[in-house]
A and B are shown apart, each in its own frame.
Chain A
C-alpha cells in the first residue's frame, strides 16, 4: 500500500504525479469512476442493442442502419472508458497488474475486440443479403452471443475487482 513492489514500469506509474493525484485528491477518483461508468454504459449498451438485433429482435430494423447509428456511439463510449480506466489503473498499478481478476478482465476485453473485428470482416460484409426481415446468418448470431457473454464478463470482472 505504501511502497509499491513490482515491475519497474508499474512502480514508475504508481509513483507518478497522476497516480498521486488519483489517490489523494478528494473528488478526482470518484469523478473518474463516474466517467468510466458512463463510458461503459454507452459502449456495452450499444453493443448489446446491436447483438439483440442480430439475434432476431426488431428484425424489421435494417441491421446496416443500426450499425451506422450504434458503432460511432460505441466508439464514443470507448473514448470515455479507456482514459478513465487507465487513470484508475495508475493509482494502484502494481496491485491491479497482479490481480487475476484484472488480467481476466483485460483478456475478455481483447476477446470482445477480436470478436467484433471477426464479425466485421466476416458475416457483416454480406449484410445486404440479410439486412431486413431475414434471420441473420449463424456466424452473425454466434458473434452476437459471444459479444453478450464477453461484455457481461468484462463488467462482472470490473465490479468483482473491489470484492476479491
Chain B
C-alpha cells in the first residue's frame, strides 16, 4: 500500500469518526417510544400531504406538535384524502413521542371530521 493510499484511508477514518454521534433522529417506528402513548387533540395549523411521510403541525393547549403521519399513497388508500387535513380543523391523534425530539410524535391513528383512520 502506498503512503498516499494510507493517508487517504487515514482522512477517511477521521471523517467517519467525526460523523458518528451527530445522528439526528427521524422516521422509522423504532425512533419513537411506544411505551408512552400520547392522545393529542388540537387544531391543525399546517398539513403536508407529502412523501415519504405526511405531517401535521397540531396546536394543543400547551404547545405545537409536529405529527408524523403515513405516506400519502397509504392515507389515500385508507380513506384519508388530503381534503380532510384542512387547516383550522380539530384533529385527534394517538401515537408515540420521538425518542430524541420532544416536539415530534408519530401517529398510529388519526380522527378528523368524525373519521378514524389507522396509519401504520
Which A residues are closer than 8 A to B by beta carbons?
A: 1-2, 22-24, 26-30, 91, 95, 98-101, 103-104, 107, 111, 161-164
Q: CA separation between A23 and B55, bound complex, in Å?
A: 12
The residue in chain B whose Cβ has the minimal distance to the Cβ of A164 is: B23
Contact for A29 among B22, B46, B51, CB less than 8 A: B51
A28 contact set on B, CB distance < 8 A: 51
Nearest Cβ distance between residue A30 and chain B, in whole angstroms? 6
In the complex formed, the residue of A with least CB distance to B19 is A100
CB–CB B52/A101 < 8 A = no
Q: Which of B27-62 contact A (CB under 8 A)?
A: 27-28, 30-31, 46, 48-52, 55
Tell me what chain A mostly uses at the interface: helix, strand, loop, or mixed: helix
User: How far, in angstroms, from A101 to B16 measured CA to CA in the complex?
Assistant: 10
In the complex, A29 Cα to B31 Cα: how many Å?
22
User: Which residues from A are CB-within-8-Å of B25?
Assistant: 164
Q: Is B72's CB under 8 angstroms from A26's CB?
A: yes
B44 to chain A, nearest CB (A): 13
Interchain CB contact under 8 A, A26 and B76: yes
- Provide 23 A-B residue pairs closer than 8 Å at the C-beta atoms, listed in order of the A residue: A1-B48, A1-B55, A1-B66, A22-B51, A23-B50, A23-B51, A24-B50, A24-B51, A24-B72, A27-B73, A29-B51, A29-B52, A29-B73, A30-B73, A91-B52, A100-B19, A100-B22, A101-B19, A104-B16, A107-B15, A111-B12, A163-B27, A163-B28
Docked pose: A63 CA to B97 CA in angstroms: 53
For the complex, what is the distance from the CA of A55 to the CA of B31, rounded to whole Å? Answer: 39
- Knowing A23-B51, A26-B76 touch, does A100 contact B28 (C-beta < 8 A)? no
**In the complex, which residues of chain B have a beta carbon less than 8 angstroms from the beta carbon of A23?**
48, 50-51
Encode B62-86 as 1/0 by CB contact (under 8 A) with A.
Answer: 0000100001110010000000000
Of residues B23, B30, B52, which shows the largest number of chain A Cβ atoms within 10 Å of its Cβ? B52
B49 — which chain A residues lie within 8 A by C-beta? 24
Nearest first, the 8 closest Cβ-Cβ pairs linking A and B are: A29-B51, A163-B28, A23-B50, A100-B19, A164-B23, A162-B27, A26-B73, A162-B28
